[in-house]
Amino acid sequence: MGILQTAERSSHLDPSENVIYQRHLIAYKEAAKLISGTVLEIGSGEGYGIMELAPKADNYIAVDKYNTEISDELKKANNITFIKTQVPPLKEIKDNSIDFVVTFQVIEHIKDDKMFLKEIYRVLKPKGKVILTTPNSMMSLTRNPWHIREYNPEQMRGILKTSFDKYELKGVFGNDKVMDYYNKNKESVRKITRFDILNFQYWLPRWLLQIPYDILNRFNRNSLQDANKGIVNSLVYSDYSICSSKTECLDHFCIATK
């Protein structure tokens, strides 16, 4: 995948990414309790979510703009289809054909977020549900140039309302150990961005910032791991929880019903 994708495609294989990996994993663990029938995952990424969700589905469709590695063992045990495509639209997916859509850490990358949700609504069966996560802008430490936008809780409700009348807004929260890491990360990022006295990060084009951001993000994660191995190496998904939305949630966790 190369350096241009490392910051946005977290992997359980890199110890320095364990904090963000476990934060994503809790969302999959929660979704696994809810899904059934025909499930569509938009943004299957490194594929670790498939291991959590596919066994709970009768049919599992994974969509990503890059190839997602799916083991032969997982394919044999589950009915999995992979579609390599950019979204929106949701090509090859019929109207009213999906029981659950799962899309984690994707909508912030989508230029036309309203069309994205409209397409999800289209493919869902009546009473079908989408389970969606995305970063809470109020807890972001700096601008992420890979993200077209991020949402605060009010904005999250607003974009969900463009396609769904019925929705529930929750959030992903961390315990004291998680927040200790968050605050150390915040201080580390501050030390880097203090040199940006003209706020280049907020007015330069996104494409111009993506490579520097990726390099600095990787450097920062490795430095934090070296300095805080007791936290980074020991965190597990149960150090996170999903509760009613508040301004201090790390990610939005949304469930919307057609």
pLDDT the model gives residue 4: 41
Give how far Cα 50 sits from Cα of 31, 77, 227, Å. Answer: 11, 12, 32
pLDDT the model gives residue 182: 93
150-189: pLDDT as tens digits: 999 999 999 999 999 999 999 999 999 999 999 999 898 8
pLDDT the model gives residue 118: 98
> Which residues of the chain are under the pLDDT cut of 50?
1-6
Dihedral (Cα; 162, 130, 248, 146), 10-degree rounding: -80
- pTM, rounded to two decimals: 0.90
88-123: pLDDT as tens digits: 999 999 999 999 999 999 999 999 999 999 999 999
CB 1, CB 219: distance < 8 Å? no
pLDDT the model gives residue 110: 96
Kind of pairing between the strands at 80-84 and 98-104: unpaired
pLDDT the model gives residue 90: 95
Give the Cα separation of 84 and 90 in Å (integer).
Answer: 11
Give the Cα separation of 223 and 147 in Å (integer).
Answer: 23
Domains annotated on the chain, with CATH: 6-257 (3.40.50.150)
pLDDT the model gives residue 68: 86
In sequence order, the β-bridge partners of residue 169 are 254
In sequence order, the β-bridge partners of residue 168 are 255
Kind of pairing between the strands at 251-257 and 166-174: antiparallel
pLDDT the model gives residue 1: 36
pLDDT the model gives residue 107: 98
Q: Is 98 helix (H, G, I), strand (E, B) or coil?
A: strand
Segments of the chain assigned E as strands = 38-42, 59-64, 80-84, 98-104, 124-135, 166-174, 240-244, 251-257
The total of other beta-carbon atoms located within 10 Å of residue 242's CB is 18
